[in-house]
Structure 1
Amino acid sequence: MSIRGPEALASLDEAMRDIRREEEEISKRLARSAEKLGKIRENEAELFRQLAQLRLDPAVQGELDGAISSAETRAREQLKAHAKNLSKAEKDVAESDAALTRLTGERADALKVYEGHQAELKALGSRLGASIARDPAFAAKRQQASELADIAGQSMRKTEQAEQDREQKGKPYRDDALFMYLWEAGYGTASYRANNLIRYFDGMVASLVGFHKARPNFAMLNEIPLRLREHAERQIENARHAEAEVDALEMAAIDDAGGKPMREAMEAAQKQIDALDAEIVATEDRRDEAAKTLGMLSQGGDAAFEDALAGLATALGREDIQTLLAEARRTRTGQDDTIVAQIDDARARAKEEENETRELNDRLRTLAARRRELEDIQWEFKKQRFDDPRSSFRDDKLVGDVLNDFLRGGISAASYWDQWRRSQNWSAGTSDWGGGVGLPNNGRQRSNSPWPEGGGSTMNWPDASFGGGGSGKPRSKGGFGGGWGSGSGSGGGFSRPRTGSTGTRKHGGFKTGGGF
């Protein structure tokens, strides 16, 4: 089953809320664990005080009690301060979560408004399509743009073939270490620099590997793709310019027929969506910082708090206290045995809390990393306009089993995002690129034209032809921000801006001009 873009994004939003809820729950459990550990240490101190009263003379007992009480008092004071800081951090995270829920809801509402005006424009375009298509000036311009698109496609296919030849036919040259040594040294060119002795030996090497004959062939293998790509990019720019002219004619026809208010309403909705996206990014970053603070405090990472507990632990680990405990174990009295058993129980419970804390900390770090990866994916999803109402995905498992696999760490963020891109389609009958030419995006159908199906070029744009440029038109390949980067972790090749960035889309929003 397929799933529409807005519903797909809503599913990702729900997964994000689940991650944040689990983060919050774990932080609360860690906070309770830190508080419990502090109380266990206080209880252990009281037990040692009772043991000292039974076994030590008053002078020694007073000295020991003073050391324990001093450390205990400091720990109790820091526990209160720690609890206050923890409460503030929890409040900051909760406020950020509430803000994100509100912003996500507002964005969904704005997208519905956008979709409504989009449907109105499509209906108007359907009524006007036949008449505008018969206009000689429009037909001529569309034909010109279609021809230029075909030329651009042919040029890029030749470029890609030349680049494949460069990789395949150039491999024997690149694998020859002696040849590549001479090539990189610039041997046989004006850039070659070497003393007479080196020149003599390089000449012997050149004769040995046949460098003088091979060099022109290798140079041509490298040069031809560069020249072809320059030519192809010029042809693509010509096709884009022609497409823009067709867009302008379409827009003028729509405006003349009364569609301008609808188009302007779409643009206003798009501006609202862009503003909300920027605010969402900024709020996510604030929440990330607040979550880091909460996690640190929940784990007892407050320096003063740690010092206080460490001081109490040190006081309880004094040699005289350990001697007291050892002597109590050697003797068999009812009161001694009861207190020693309680001390052993307290230490066992403290160990359990420490082990659970380590496990929770590991889970919290995993959740934070997964949250940031999902934020990156959501950003790319919006930047590529996959949440456009005309966008859909063939595989609904992307919000089911595959999503769960990603959240469990079974697949990387890069792999998950690649599956989204490969599954994505635009509404049937039109290409996503806009304009009356119907320039397809690697075979995907154009979703924003108001004109009837048919007509226009059927050429499949090679992906390498459109490398950004702020057109607001999504690419079908490439990866995050033009490259996968080196890893699947957060930020590894993703283009989402982080703290300190502007937080706006890099490639524009939904297309509202021209073919709508």
Structure 2
Amino acid sequence: MSIRGPQALASLEEAMRDIRREEDELSKRVSRAAERASKIREHEAELFRQLARLRLEPAVQSELDGRISAAEARARDTLKAHSKDVSRAEKAISALDAGRAELTEKRASAIALLEEQQAQLKALTAAQASKLAADPVYAAKRAETEELDRIAEQSLRKTEQAETDREEKGRPYREDPLFMYLWEAGYGTSRYKASNLIRYFDGLVANLIGFAKARPNYAMLNEIPLRLREHAERQEANVSAAEAELAALEVEAVDAAGGKPLRQAIAAGQENIEALDAEIARLEDERDAAAEVLHTLAQGKDPAFEGAAAELAAALGREDIQTLLAEARRTRTGQDDTLVAQIDEARARLREEEEESREQRERLKTLAARRRELEDIQWEFKKQRFDDPGSSFKEDRLVGDLLNDFLRGGISAASYWDQWRKSQNWAPGSEWGAGYKSTRSSQRSNRSSPWPPSGGGFQWPDSSFGGTGSRKGASKGGMSGGFGGGWGGGSSGGGFSRPRTGTSGSRKQGGFKTGGGF
């Protein structure tokens, strides 16, 4: 069962919301745990004060009580300030999430409007196709383009055959160490530099292996493919120029039929979506920074809170306090036993809180990393225009089992994204390019910029003006896309292209741009 592009992006967005909700909830839990730990220490301090009143001389008791109370008071004041800081950080994240959700809704509306405009323009181009096909100027230009395409294809085949010959027929030469020694030394050419003695021995070797006859043959094997490749590239440039002229005629015909306002509206829509994507990315970066602040606060790692907690812990860990507790354990009085039991219970609760908090902090780190990876995937998804309505994915497990595997850490982000790329397909007519389609587009997919060279924001659907269907290799990361643009660069897996503020500089805009790499 396949899944359409917009549905796929919506599923990723839902997973992102789930991650953020869990991340926020864990941050709150960790923060509450840190506050509970502080309060447990305060309670432990009060128990020690009570124990001191029972067992110590008034003077010693007063000194110890004053020392503990001072540390406890500072910890209590710091806890109040810490709670306010945590509350502010949580509100900041909530505001950023609300802003991002609003922009996401605006983007969905903009894409829906763009899809309507594309459909109108597509219908208009189809209506003009038969009229333009009967135009003698257009017919002549199309015939010329087809002939140039045929010549370029033949040139490419000759080049590939010459390159195959270079590999196969040149192997015996490359595997002969004596020949390669003389070849690399430039023997028999003006670049050969050697002393008289070396020249003498090299001459013996050359006569022994017949180098004088072999060298020009090997040179020819290497030179022919280079010259043919240059010729093939010139023929390819001729085809590209002819296709651009053909496309210009198509634009002129559709504009004459009233298509120019639609094209301009589509271009404006694309710019709007690019701006929304950039703003969403900016808010994501701000949220990431705000989440780091909240995580630090939640874990009690801010200097004031950490220092106050350490001071109280140190006060309760002093040798005279531990001696007081040890002596209370050795006696058998009811009040001592009750206080000692309560102190032991408080310390046990503190250990439990710290252990639970440690596990939650590790989970929080994992969630933060997974959120960033999913942001990377969404960035690439939109940059490649995989959320185009004409885009679909034959593997619905991408938003089911495979998504769960990724979120649990069973597969890496790069592997998960690779599964998306391999599963993606374009519906017939959903890919946009010049009306005339070269039969060699799979070999030409390394061209990073589609027609028109000047931008313009609209390219013709495959089926218009007698197009021959979708280009070969379109879903392989070459010239593919929708919504009148958005060709993404090819991808071989590995790192993501999404830059992050503070790590890779300011974010580059993706969206409906042509080209790009991943």
The aligned residue for residue 262 of structure 1 is: 262
Q: Give unpaired runs (5+ residues) of structure 2.
A: 446-458
Give the counterpart of 1:478 among 491, 497, 503. Answer: 491
Aligned-partner Cα distance in 1 for 2:347–2:179:
68
Aligned-partner Cα distance in 2 for 1:231–1:84:
72
TM-score (norm 1): 0.81
Distance 1:85 1:38, change over 3 A: same
Contact 2:148 2:238 in 1 (8 A): yes
Aligned-partner Cα distance in 2 for 1:186–1:467:
47
Equivalent AA in structure 2 for residue 332 of structure 1: R
The aligned residue for residue 348 of structure 2 is: 348
Equivalent AA in structure 1 for residue 431 of structure 2: D
Deviation digits for residues 331-374 of structure 1 (CA, Å, limit 9, x no counterpart): 22221121111111111111111112221111111111111111
Aligned-partner Cα distance in 1 for 2:78–2:224:
72
The aligned residue for residue 134 of structure 1 is: 134
Equivalent AA in structure 1 for residue 107 of structure 2: R
Give the counterpart of 1:495 among 494, 497, 507. Answer: 497
1:80-95 alignment runs, 5 A limit: 80-95=80-95
Aligned-partner Cα distance in 1 for 2:222–2:467:
39
Deviation digits for residues 7-30 of structure 1 (CA, Å, limit 9, x no counterpart): 221221111111111111111111
Contact 1:150 1:459 in 2 (8 A): no
Distance 1:170 1:308, change over 3 A: farther
Q: Give unpaired runs (5+ residues) of structure 1.
A: 486-492, 511-516
The aligned residue for residue 510 of structure 2 is: 505
Distance 1:458 1:30, change over 3 A: closer
Equivalent AA in structure 2 for residue 474 of structure 1: W
The aligned residue for residue 25 of structure 1 is: 25
Distance 1:359 1:152, change over 3 A: farther
State the 1:141 CA deviation. 2.6
Aligned-partner Cα distance in 1 for 2:76–2:174:
70
The aligned residue for residue 421 of structure 1 is: 421
Distance 1:94 1:385, change over 3 A: same
Deviation digits for residues 219-269 of structure 1 (CA, Å, limit 9, x no counterpart): 888877766665555444433333222222222111111122222221221
Contact 2:133 2:139 in 1 (8 A): yes
1:53-452 alignment runs, 5 A limit: 53-149=53-149, 231-428=231-428, 430=429, 432-439=431-438, 442=442, 448-449=460-461, 451-452=463-464
Aligned-partner Cα distance in 2 for 1:460–1:35:
61
Distance 1:437 1:83, change over 3 A: same
Aligned-partner Cα distance in 1 for 2:128–2:185:
63
Aligned-partner Cα distance in 2 for 1:288–1:215:
63
Distance 1:181 1:238, change over 3 A: same
DSSP-derived class of the 1:474 partner: coil
State the 1:138 CA deviation. 2.0
Q: Which has the larger radius of gyration?
A: 2
Contact 1:421 1:477 in 2 (8 A): no
Contact 1:142 1:456 in 2 (8 A): no
The farther-off stretch of 122-131 and 40-49 is: 122-131
Aligned-partner Cα distance in 2 for 1:122–1:29:
54
CA RMSD of aligned residues (A): 4.0
Aligned-partner Cα distance in 2 for 1:357–1:192:
73
Aligned-partner Cα distance in 1 for 2:179–2:71:
71
State the 1:43 CA deviation. 0.9
The aligned residue for residue 460 of structure 1 is: 472
Contact 1:244 1:435 in 2 (8 A): yes
Equivalent AA in structure 2 for residue 438 of structure 1: K
Distance 1:116 1:330, change over 3 A: same
Aligned-partner Cα distance in 2 for 1:349–1:166:
76
Aligned-partner Cα distance in 1 for 2:357–2:173:
58
The farther-off stretch of 121-130 and 230-239 is: 230-239
Deviation digits for residues 295-321 of structure 1 (CA, Å, limit 9, x no counterpart): 111111101111111111111110111
DSSP-derived class of the 2:433 partner: coil
Contact 2:385 2:488 in 1 (8 A): no
Distance 1:477 1:155, change over 3 A: farther
Deviation digits for residues 435-490 of structure 1 (CA, Å, limit 9, x no counterpart): 1113476499xx9517458554887369798799xx955358423xxxx44xxxxx
The aligned residue for residue 448 of structure 2 is: none
DSSP-derived class of the 1:392 partner: strand
Equivalent AA in structure 1 for residue 499 of structure 2: P
Distance 1:324 1:498, change over 3 A: same
Contact 1:281 1:503 in 2 (8 A): no
The aligned residue for residue 490 of structure 1 is: none
The aligned residue for residue 456 of structure 2 is: none
Aligned-partner Cα distance in 2 for 1:147–1:40:
85
Aligned-partner Cα distance in 1 for 2:50–2:178:
85
The farther-off stretch of 42-51 and 230-239 is: 230-239
Contact 1:2 1:395 in 2 (8 A): yes
Aligned-partner Cα distance in 2 for 1:308–1:238:
75
Percent identity between matched residues is 60
Equivalent AA in structure 1 for residue 491 of structure 2: G
Aligned-partner Cα distance in 1 for 2:231–2:103:
46
Distance 1:41 1:153, change over 3 A: farther
Distance 1:294 1:57, change over 3 A: same
Contact 1:236 1:465 in 2 (8 A): no
Contact 1:274 1:504 in 2 (8 A): yes
Aligned-partner Cα distance in 1 for 2:477–2:217:
26
Aligned-partner Cα distance in 2 for 1:114–1:505:
17
Contact 2:129 2:465 in 1 (8 A): no
Equivalent AA in structure 2 for residue 359 of structure 1: E
Contact 1:431 1:438 in 2 (8 A): no
Distance 1:62 1:13, change over 3 A: same
DSSP-derived class of the 1:425 partner: strand
The farther-off stretch of 145-154 and 359-368 is: 145-154
Aligned-partner Cα distance in 2 for 1:403–1:125:
39
Aligned length: 489
Aligned-partner Cα distance in 2 for 1:215–1:118:
60
Contact 1:75 1:312 in 2 (8 A): yes
Distance 1:77 1:473, change over 3 A: closer
